[in-house]
Structure 1
Amino acid sequence: MALSRRMFLAQAGLAGIGLSFGGCAKSSVRKLNLYTWDTYIGTHTLGDFEKASGAQVQMSLFANNDELFAKLRGGNQGYDVIVPSNDFVERMHEAGLLAELDHAKIPNLKNIAPQFANPPFDPGRKVTVPYTWIVTGIGYRKSKVESVPDSWKWVLDSDRYKGRIALLAEASELFEIGAKYLGLPANTDDPATMARVEAMLARQKPNIATFHDDNGQDLLLAGDVDLVIEYNGDIAQVMREDPDIGFVVPKEGGILASDSLCIPKGAPNPDLAYRFIDFVLGAQAGGHIAETIRYPTPNAAALALMPAEYRDNPAIFPPQAALDRCEYSRWRGQEVAARYEQAMTRIRAG
């Protein structure tokens, strides 16, 4: 039976940070330190791994990639496995924060579909193992909007739903989406493009209820907003609880991303990290994770086990025509990232 998001949070204990799954384990038991996103693991994945490995799992949660990067750039604080997004993989690899992987220690890599074997952000999968792929679009409450919000205009360039709109707080992705709406390349360092997007978002600011950190689905489920820029898996999670919620990739195209499992340099338990990564890539474990978190899986062996309700869900797997209009977010350097952050600060203060 699929768990609701609230049931999942309660059962897995994810309302707290730094949850230990080891119960009364003795101090001599090895401990895997996992640093990941909220509601991004199967309900019994960590318990199953503990039984299989005899290790204890300590899981901590971050709200966004910036928080993850900030935690690691001053030195690894004891994490064994982390789950960054593709553009931050590039950023972290460039900064020398990620360990190169020994594929011989991850035999279940064979389960990954071929199209995910050689991504542009990590050719040859030198530092990453694919965990999910992601599409950013619009989550919406069907009974509160007049039709399917099939354009970014609904949330970026209109006062039609004033005070009922939530936007992503992550500056780079919001600006990439703005560029897509304007018919411009999402991955750009062009000052004129950035200025146009900033001006548009500044005009839209009075119509925005909030800028959110990866909890837009909760705002939508609670009825706090009617339209939200969010990731497809997060909206698919709450669609199980409320059939009045829908998801669409706007006609201009959205932003593609891929979250990966990585071992940061200085991991205290690298062998245990390899064992965990290989466990997660197993068909059964991968299928359970996908069924729980509702993100599209790159694990072909896991996908083969999934019910039609998952495989044929257009929120989880949007139509190919929509995906063809999407772009992967790319890391464009610290100077460009700083300009995005400065622009976002001006918008939110305006």
Structure 2
Amino acid sequence: MTPPAAPPSFAPSRRGFLAGVGASAVGLTFTGLAGCHRAPPGKHLNFYNWDTYIGKTTLQDFKAASGVTVDMSLFSNNDELFAKLRGGNQGYDVIVPTNDFVQRMAAANMLEPLDHAKIPNLKNIAPDFLNPPFDLGRKWSMPYTWLVLGLGYRKLKIQGVPDDWKWVFDSPQYKGRIGLLSEAGDLVRLVLQYLGYPMNTADPVALRKVEELLIRQKPNIAVFHDDNGQDLLLSGDIDIVIEYNGDIAQVMREDKDLDFVVPRQGSQISSDCLCIPKGAPNPDLAHEFINYLLDAKAGAEISQTIRYPTPNAAAKALMGPDYRDNPVIFPPQSILSKCDYATYNGEALSRQYEDIITRVRAA
């Protein structure tokens, strides 16, 4: 199959995406679902998703194909998603948790098991993503993207390539120009990796050292960002930030002075997944929507927009070399071999992560 021509230079920052497409065009809401207009049953889905994490025409295309209107609400991190659904489903049909939160939500009886017979496009998924350790047999989730955390940076402001976590965790060199992500588990695990501990350890000595290091580094930190590190980098508010490869790949199309590196110690590899939360009002339509998102053409349209690596082999085959061969989107195997999935190791440890970061931010 001949790849399509390279896409136009369009890199939606979070603000630019919403302004350019229009909230009404994609059915976006920014709050909970209380007070949302409810279409007749069977013709309406509520989708709870990360910001800038859908193709420019995906929701309109699904409506044209199925007659189903999708209202998409936005969350900024997995902690927020979990907290919103912990007390019961408020009307969501499809959600997009990261792999360790798939485990956490399944353990808490917050997810519906998937019916693979209703998701025939599972055949499009690359074999590496069919039986992941966090969801054996794909009982609870379908793969949407995979991603890796690293450092986005402004080349003119940073000396050389910052291929070491020390520049954000253990150095005053870029004081006041550093952005850390706010999600507790991710941040704790990255510091553990920098300190030489297993990323998923529960060792109290190691966790105490994480907290001590971050409190010591706190005066040098400009911001703990909520899923908008690439925007802060693009606007010049910061010069170096922990962010996902896809987010930095988005803004690199707007500003050639931006770049991305996975530090030499390795990092956290993740997979954002499509799940049906317990009590979904429209489970059959939720399956239909998930199946649509795994379609080759739909998957390619999503990937072209969001610039995250896709687990959809059929979609990747439709993409041009600017996507398939991009080392920011698809880091080399020599780097990925040093990266690990986060694992859910019980509610007590998850709460401990949250308490550590709460104390750091209050210090």
1:191 match: 204
The AA in structure 2 aligned to 1:122 is: D
Q: Following superposition of structure 1 onto structure 2, how do residues 1-350 of structure 1 map, counting pairs within 5 Å?
A: 1-6=8-13, 7-14=16-23, 17=30, 27=40, 30-350=43-363
Deviation at 1:2, TM superposition (A): 4.0
Q: Is contact 2:29–2:72 with CA below 8 Å preserved after alignment?
A: no
**Gap regions ≥5 residues in structure 2:** 1-7
Deviation at 1:29, TM superposition (A): 6.7
Query: Deviation per CA, 1:145-203, whole angstroms, max 9, x where unpaired?
Result: 11000000111000001000000111111111011111110001100000111111111
The AA in structure 1 aligned to 2:350 is: A
Deviation at 1:8, TM superposition (A): 2.4
The AA in structure 2 aligned to 1:343 is: I
Deviation at 1:18, TM superposition (A): 6.0
Which range moves more in the overlay, 29-38 or 92-101?
29-38
Q: 1:31 to 1:41 in 2, by over 3 A?
A: same
Instruction: Work out the CA distance in 2 between the residues paired with 1:122 and 1:277.
Output: 17
Which range moves more in the overlay, 278-287 or 3-12?
3-12
Q: TM-score, normalised by structure 1?
A: 0.96
Query: Deviation per CA, 1:215-270, whole angstroms, max 9, x where unpaired?
Result: 10010000000000001111111011001000000000010110000111111111
Q: Is contact 1:140–1:247 with CA below 8 Å preserved after alignment?
A: yes
The AA in structure 2 aligned to 1:161 is: Y
Q: Is contact 1:19–1:59 with CA below 8 Å preserved after alignment?
A: no
The AA in structure 2 aligned to 1:87 is: D
Q: Is contact 1:25–1:56 with CA below 8 Å preserved after alignment?
A: no
Q: Is contact 1:19–1:58 with CA below 8 Å preserved after alignment?
A: no
Instruction: Work out the CA distance in 2 between the residues paired with 1:190 and 1:19.
Output: 37
The AA in structure 1 aligned to 2:91 is: G
Instruction: Work out the CA distance in 1 between the residues paired with 2:38 and 2:354.
Output: 43
The AA in structure 1 aligned to 2:232 is: L
**Gap regions ≥5 residues in structure 1:** none
Q: Is contact 2:42–2:285 with CA below 8 Å preserved after alignment?
A: no
Instruction: Work out the CA distance in 1 between the residues paired with 2:29 and 2:224.
Output: 22
Deviation at 1:62, TM superposition (A): 0.6
Q: 1:262 to 1:25 in 2, by over 3 A?
A: closer
The AA in structure 2 aligned to 1:180 is: Q
Deviation at 1:19, TM superposition (A): 11
**Equivalent position SS for 2:156:** helix
**Equivalent position SS for 2:292:** helix
The AA in structure 2 aligned to 1:13 is: G
